[in-house]
Amino acid sequence: MNSRALIRRELKIKTSFNGSLDTLLDMLNNIRLATILENTETRGKVKASYKLEEMEPEEKILMNGLNIMDLHEKRPKLQGVGVYMGN
């Protein structure tokens, strides 16, 4: 069983999701994370904050079922990897 099928099976158990794998991927594709860059008065790094865009109730159920609703708040910090790299 591939990873997509495992995710679909997990969601079916946790949330009673009965859609196809294509439907599941389409719904997950609709979930977007916005990056908000804040101006600073001083020189230095631009502060970035992250917020999920509004989503349909069914999409929220899927995110809760996968336990990823607050994943953007606990983002891992990787050296040299970021959404904004200023000079």
pLDDT at 62: 92
Distance of alpha carbon 82 from alpha carbon 46, whole angstroms = 11
| Model confidence pTM above 0.85 | no
pLDDT of res. 55:
93
d(CA 71, CA 18): 25
Boundaries of every domain in the chain: 3-72
Measured distance CA(27)–CA(62) in Å, rounded = 9
The Cα–Cα gap between 68 and 14 comes to 13
Q: What is the pLDDT of residue 87?
A: 45
pLDDT reported for residue 36: 87
Please identify every stretch of the chain with a pLDDT value under 50, giving residue numbers as ranges: 85-87
